[in-house]
Amino acid sequence: MEHNSVEATIVEPLSGKEQAKPQWRELVDNPWLMLAMLFFVTAALGLPLLWISRAFSPFWKVVVTIAVLLWTALVLWVFYLIMAWCWSQLRPVFWPGG
């Protein structure tokens, strides 16, 4: 019983409406997933994905972009404050006389 692997791997291409959408496109076009990703995962680094998304109108893309930039600035400021506090606590350990 011989199996021809070349014939087994040939698949007929889908035509027209039968073609599957790429999975990333479905994820990017989901507005709630996009907002969650922007505010909880990628911050400003996810803005290119927002602008290729078809889930938002151009007006809302501008509004969300401004909100994400403000959110990113807040996150970075809080990170700076935490690191400054940590450094003030650790500095006497590294430089006891200073």
More confident residue, 19 or 40: 40
Q: Is residue 89 part of a domain?
A: yes
Q: Is residue 82 part of a domain?
A: yes
Task: Name the one residue in this structure whose structure tokens are 């893309």.
Answer: 61
Q: Is residue 10 part of a domain?
A: no
DSSP string for residues in 3-59 = --HHHHH--PPP-GGGSPPPHHHHHHT-HHHHHHHIIIIIGGGGHHHHHH-SSS-HH
The residue-averaged pLDDT of 14-40 equals: 83
Q: Give the structural domain span for 68.
A: 20-94
Q: Is residue 4 part of a domain?
A: no
Enclosing H/E stretch for 86: helix 58-94
Q: How confident is the model at residue 54 (pLDDT cuts 50, 70, 90)?
A: very high
pTM greater than 0.85 (yes/no): no
The residue-averaged pLDDT of 47-58 equals: 95
Q: Is residue 37 part of a domain?
A: yes
Considering only the C-alpha atoms of the chain, give the largest distance between any 2 of them, rounded to a whole number of Å. 83
Number of independent structural domains in the chain:
1
Q: How confident is the model at residue 9 (pLDDT cuts 50, 70, 90)?
A: low
The token pair at 32 is: 């709630």
